[in-house]
A and B are shown apart, each in its own frame.
Chain A
């Protein structure tokens, strides 16, 4: 499915640990337009649960997350 998602911006959080992937994601989303999709890539295994919690709390939609080769990819649509 991710192949069909149109990504407007990619955020590289590789190597960053908690809480930076969440904070950088929020900073990036704030600068985007409603409806746009952010791709965030991290190497922190904790970011999977963290991004789900973040999406639930903020209301920005986590369209999909994938993992492989030590990378975690998140696709987030800005909703407001």
Chain B
């Protein structure tokens, strides 16, 4: 009888000790993780997917270069039409599309925007304004992004879809990656943006 009692008492003590230990370890690990998270560099992850336009390139590159200047770690993922921004010799040929854009500085009805040459015209006007105001250009921002260690990932699937090879893209890019690789990176990011 007494051995049975001893045994159940032992079990009880063991369970209690284990419970206290578990709680203590959990608290310590949580504290350590929080410290690590606070001390590590902030991370920005941007997915540029929907558009390969002038303004999409600006939005992505301005935020990416500024984040890098703020000591953040930055990764930008280019998929679908976004891949257009990474094509060799294309950085200065991105277009402003007036068709279906209700926010053009000079109001342009769609019936006019649809005419041949209107996209080129709108792009020219925008570029003129950018030059006049000394705003950084897409090639300049791209160069700064590459120099400051911003990772500009091409999407492998989009490259296959558009029949693009690594040589068709600008130099200095990391190898093309898939969705899982970017998501793994973005999963650890403090800021994630979709453009």
Contact = CB atoms under 8 A, between A and B. Distances in A.
A and B co-occur in one complex: yes
Interface stretch (B9-17, B25-33, B64-72): B64-72
Nearest to B66: A19
A17 interface: yes
Nearest to A19: B66
* Interface size band for B: 10 to 19
Interface stretch (B48-56, B132-140, B162-170): B132-140
Contacts of A59: 71
Interface stretch (A20-28, A32-40, A65-73): A20-28
B144 interface: yes
Contacts of A26: 68-70
Interface of B: 42, 62, 65-66, 68-72, 133-136, 144
Contacts, number: 37
Interface in A56-80: 57-59
Contacts of B65: 19, 23
A53 B67 CA distance: 11
Interface residues of A, number: 16
A23 B66 contact: yes
A15 B133 CA distance: 8
Contacts of A54: 69-70
A23 B134 contact: no
Given A57-B71, A58-B71, A19 B42 contact: no
A15 to B, nearest CB: 5
B1 to A, nearest CB: 68
Contacts of B70: 22, 26, 53-54, 57-58
A7 interface: no
